[in-house]
């Protein structure tokens, strides 16, 4: 099948572009000597995790236990769950993964959770690697104070069934700060807090083996801190319409758009506009609009028109007919991927494969 | 299982509240003599469609062919697909449904689509009921002019394999207009266009047997137009945080909130705030925030904190502990339902059933 014949709406992955992005990031990692733990919350797909492993990734970062389960079931090693696993259900599922021999590390930000994990690991006769998270400005998870993080690391180290493996520090709120030199300045400020934590950990005899964090928006800036052993970008695979609009180093953005929602024209009865079958349920709505790409005249724009529809305003361009396929560069890629059950994988104009989004949902 | 022990995030349906909403709407339909074609794009669930049929519904309205397929597979009759089926994939799937004897009506807004459907119905040896849509101000699908709609009805009637069944007119953009008397005024203005279409159709010997439209926000106002034979509300089942905030008749809103996302506390290391495991991927983001209900102190508020997380600001209230379940009254219910694979169905505090969201996605 050709990509302009796809049943719509469909999530379309341009394999050439994604492979380029993986090669670009891998070259950056080699040049800077930093490891890669690409975030599976973006792709949620075993086939993509395998390609990343072949490109040298240490393993996937995962945001949910469902992602970790899907990766482990696919034989993927080096799984780091980057959010605290603190509910009874999460803990039971962690236990099941440990029982199956999954190669798993967890992140903590609370002493009670450390103690619970210690009991769980002991019960399975394993030593569980645990990473202490420092909140570096997001205000979400992570220890608020350096002293809290040191105390937590000591608590981890005090449990025989846990191994203190390092520190996570993720400045998610800085990923798309503009201009880029302001992004660099704010990274430098937060890096001071991370540096003081790493120093304090050395002082108590608990040097961090792993220092993990970062995302697509800072992946070319984080190495200058000389603090990280590995980085966790995810969106670099796809370059959504948010990331495509901003530079990532200097004035450049070296990644290519690879992820589209293929939408079909279902109504064409007004000059200058067609209606397509992709709305709130096919495209994330948290971060702006998709951008029409292939199939629509240059300069076309998209407007959300409810759950199932969008309007493509065509300007002076020719109108695609009923049933025509218009590819939309996705807005925020992670929640857009989560809306779909599979990738339609294209090489050029040919759809050559279908990859399940195995870790979709919960 | 009790609802405060649910694995999170989960979509939680309060069955008592939903049954109340169905009874309230059914009583309204009986009192006004108007039929009900409740919209399956909201619930996407065969079990709910069956309950609606038992309460007297004529059948489900469907926005996608996947919804129609799921309803037909569940043995549901009286399916009206409310968006044009105009792509090759949609048409092939319509043909498959007709081949299986599904009880299906379609909506049209373009002469080419009418001709295509005629060929398709003839090929299956069936007479397909077709409804002509008039755009009454949304600017999405539907004929733009009354004259276009009359011409389309005549074109339908000219095909032996099609039966002109009536008119659809949906003022989706008026559903949440405030204040309510402004909503009424704008309905009255658009109703004039619908009235002139119905009159023009009678003049050409094509009286509309079915006049369908309306939604939860206008379901108590539409009968005053004396134009509709049936109404298509969907959100009345759930009363999301958008609809819960507005009156539906006089100063009243007779429906009850029945749909919640149960979220679990995964981080609790700051006074006055906890972090829960429900963000952009568990809750629709197109129409405001969810409202904390059971499990959080009164007056708590929710803020989105990315793909997987939200912050519950607790005010002066006591902090729920790690792992505690907080029920969030959903924002826009339709795209929230579409994010989940199943309803956890509760009667009071007991979870008594699990219903698949069979028509999720595409």
A292/A232 same-domain check: no
Q: Is A245 inside a domain boundary?
A: no
| pLDDT for A142 | 98
Residue B86 has its nearest CB partner, among A110, A305, A323, at A323
B23/B171 same-domain check: yes
Contact A90, A83 (CB under 8 A): no
Based on its alpha-carbon atoms, the radius of gyration of chain B, rounded to whole angstroms, reads: 22
- A204-236: b (≥16 Cβ within 10 Å) or e: eebebebbbbbbbbbbbbbbebebbbbbbbbbb
Mean pLDDT score across all residues of chain A = 97
Contact B335, A280 (CB under 8 A): yes
Alpha-carbon span A237 to A52, nearest angstrom: 10
Contact A78, A40 (CB under 8 A): no
B215/B79 same-domain check: yes
| pLDDT for B362 | 87
Low-confidence ranges of chain B (pLDDT < 50): none
Q: pLDDT digits over A248-263, tens only?
A: 999 999 999 999 999 9
Residue finishing a domain among B188, B213, B238? B238
| pLDDT for B187 | 98
Q: Is B179 inside a domain boundary?
A: yes
Chain A, window 181-240: residues with a beta carbon less than 8 angstroms from a chain B beta carbon: none
Chain B, window 286-325: residues with a beta carbon less than 8 angstroms from a chain A beta carbon: 286, 304-309, 311, 322-323
Q: pLDDT digits over A158-211, tens only?
A: 999 999 999 999 999 999 999 999 999 999 999 999 999 999 999 999 999 999
Q: pLDDT digits over A99-109, tens only?
A: 999 999 999 99
Three-state SS for B212? strand
B258/B232 same-domain check: no
A20/A64 same-domain check: yes
> Which among A244, A279, A262, A237 has a CA at the least distance from the CA of A351?
A262
Residue B141 has its nearest CB partner, among A267, A284, A286, at A267
Q: What would the DSSP string read from start to end of B146-187?
A: HHHHHHHHHHHHT-TTEEEEEEEE--GGGTT-SSHHHHHHHH
What are the Cα distances from residue A289, in Å, to A333, A335, B283, B290, B332?
A: 11, 13, 18, 22, 18
CA distance B343 to chain A (A): 13
Alpha-carbon span B185 to B187, nearest angstrom: 5
Report how many domains make up chain A. Answer: 2
A290/A170 same-domain check: no
CB atoms within 10 A of CB B13: 25
A76/A222 same-domain check: yes
| Beta-strand relationship, A79-81 and A61-62 | parallel
Q: Is B243 inside a domain boundary?
A: no
Asked whether the beta carbons of residue A309 and residue B141 sit closer than 8 angstroms, the reply is yes
Q: What region does B68 belong to: left with phi over 0, alpha with psi -120 to 50, or beta?
A: alpha
Alpha-carbon span B336 to B330, nearest angstrom: 7
Contact A133, A108 (CB under 8 A): yes
Residue finishing a domain among B175, B205, B238? B238
Q: Is B69 inside a domain boundary?
A: yes
Asked whether the beta carbons of residue B305 and residue A138 sit closer than 8 angstroms, the reply is yes
Alpha-carbon span A60 to B130, nearest angstrom: 51
Three-state SS for B243? helix
Determine the residue of chain A that is closest to B325 in CA distance: A87
Indicate the pLDDT class of residue A288, thresholds 50, 70 and 90. Answer: confident
What are the Cα distances from residue B300, in Å, to A297, B287, B290, B294, B304?
A: 47, 19, 11, 10, 14
Contact B320, A321 (CB under 8 A): no
B232/B261 same-domain check: no
Indicate the pLDDT class of residue A330, thresholds 50, 70 and 90. Answer: very high
Alpha-carbon span A266 to A274, nearest angstrom: 8
B196/B277 same-domain check: no
CA distance B358 to chain A (A): 13
Contacts with B335 from chain A: Cβ below 8 Å: 280-281, 285, 307
**Tokens representing A268?**
């064409």
Q: pLDDT digits over A337-347, tens only?
A: 999 999 999 99
Asked whether the beta carbons of residue A334 and residue B64 sit closer than 8 angstroms, the reply is no
Alpha-carbon span B193 to A158, nearest angstrom: 76
Contacts with A63 from chain B: Cβ below 8 Å: 307-308
A202/A146 same-domain check: yes
Q: Is A40 inside a domain boundary?
A: yes
Alpha-carbon span A184 to B249, nearest angstrom: 54
* Paired residues of A133 in beta bridges: A168
Alpha-carbon span B323 to B306, nearest angstrom: 19
B125/B21 same-domain check: yes
Domain hosting B346: range is: 3-10+254-356
CA atoms within 13 A on the CB side of A269: 23
> The domain spanning residue A347 has which CATH number?
2.40.37.20
What's the angle, vertex CA A328, arms to CA A325 and CA A334, rounded to 5? 130
> The domain spanning residue B193 has which CATH number?
3.20.20.10
CB atoms within 10 A of CB B189: 13
| pLDDT for B288 | 85
Q: Is A247 inside a domain boundary?
A: no
Residue finishing a domain among B238, B271, B288? B238
Contacts with B358 from chain A: Cβ below 8 Å: none
Preferred mutation among A280, A290, A334 to probe B, highest tally of B CBs within 10 A: A280
Whether A63 contacts chain B with CB within 8 A: yes
Residue B281 has its nearest CB partner, among A270, A307, A338, at A338
Place of tokens 């934590």: A197
Q: Is A321 inside a domain boundary?
A: yes
A221/A272 same-domain check: no
Place of tokens 């209230």: B317
Handedness of CA A319, A321, A325, A330 (dihedral sign): positive
Q: Which are the contacts of B307, defined by CB distance < 8 A and separation ≥ 6?
A: A41, A63, A334, A335, A338, B279, B280, B281
Alpha-carbon span A111 to A276, nearest angstrom: 51
What are the Cα distances from residue A274, in Å, to A318, B109, B142, B171, B175?
A: 11, 12, 12, 19, 23
What are the Cα distances from residue A69, in Å, to A99, A102, A354?
A: 12, 9, 21
3-state secondary structure chain A: CEHHHCCCCEEEEEHHHHHHHHHHHHHHHHHHCCEECCEHHHHCCHHHHHHHHHCCCCCCEECCHHHHHHHHHCCCCCEEECCCCCCHHHHHHHHHHHHCCCCEEEEECCHHHHHHHHHHHHHCCCCEEEEEEECCCCCCCCECCHHHHHHHHHHHHCCCCEEEEEEEECCHHHCCCCCHHHHHHHHHHHHHHHHHHHHHHHHCCCCCCEEEECCCCCCCCHHHHCCCCEECCCHHHCCCCCHHHCCCECCECCCCCCEEEEEEEEEEEECCEEEECCCCCCCCCCCCCCEECCCCCCCCEEEECCCCCEEEECCCCCCCCCCCEEEEECCCHHHHHCCCCEEEEEECCEEEEEEECCCCCC
Q: Above 90 in pLDDT, residue A362?
A: no
| Number of inter-chain CB pairs under 8 A, A vs B | 177
Asked whether the beta carbons of residue B8 and residue A141 sit closer than 8 angstroms, the reply is no
Q: Is B225 inside a domain boundary?
A: yes
* Paired residues of A104 in beta bridges: A79
Three-state SS for B20? helix
């Amino acid at each position: 099948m050709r990509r302009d014949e796809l049943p719509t709406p469909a999530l379309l992955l341009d394999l050439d572009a994604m492979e380029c992005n993986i090669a670009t990031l891998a070259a950056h990692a080699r040049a800077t000597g930093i490891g890669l733990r690409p975030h599976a919350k973006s792709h949620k797909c075993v086939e993509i995790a395998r390609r990343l492993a072949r490109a040298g990734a240490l393993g996937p970062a995962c945001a949910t236990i469902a992602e970790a389960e899907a990766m482990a079931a696919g034989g993927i090693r080096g799984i780091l769950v980057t959010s605290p696993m603190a509910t009874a259900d999460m803990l039971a599922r962690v236990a099941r993964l440990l029982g199956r021999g999954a190669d798993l590390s967890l992140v903590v930000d609370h002493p009670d959770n450390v103690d619970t994990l210690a009991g769980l690991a002991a019960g399975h006769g394993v030593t569980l690697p645990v990473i202490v998270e420092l909140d570096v400005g997001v205000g979400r998870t992570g220890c608020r104070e350096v002293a809290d993080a040191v105390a937590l690391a000591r608590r981890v180290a005090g449990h025989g069934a846990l191994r203190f493996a390092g520190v996570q520090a993720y400045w998610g709120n800085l990923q798309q700060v503009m201009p880029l030199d302001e992004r660099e300045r704010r990274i430098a400020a937060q890096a001071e807090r991370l540096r003081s934590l790493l120093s304090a950990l050395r002082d108590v005899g608990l040097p961090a083996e792993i220092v993990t964090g970062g995302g697509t928006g800072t992946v070319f800036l984080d190495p200058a801190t000389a603090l990280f052993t590995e980085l966790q970008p995810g969106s670099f695979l796809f370059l959504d319409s948010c990331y495509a609009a901003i530079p990532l180093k200097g004035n450049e953005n070296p990644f290519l758009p690879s992820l589209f929602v293929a939408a079909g024209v279902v109504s064409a009865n007004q000059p200058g506009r067609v209606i397509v079958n992709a709305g709130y349920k096919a495209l994330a709505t948290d971060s702006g609009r998709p951008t029409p790409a292939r199939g629509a005249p240059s300069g076309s724009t998209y407007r959300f028109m409810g759950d199932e529809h969008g309007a493509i305003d065509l300007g002076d361009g020719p109108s695609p007919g009923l049933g025509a396929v218009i590819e939309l560069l996705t807005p925020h890629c992670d929640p857009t991927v989560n809306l779909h059950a599979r990738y339609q994988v294209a090489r050029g104009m040919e759809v050559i494969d279908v990859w399940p989004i195995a870790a979709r949902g919960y």
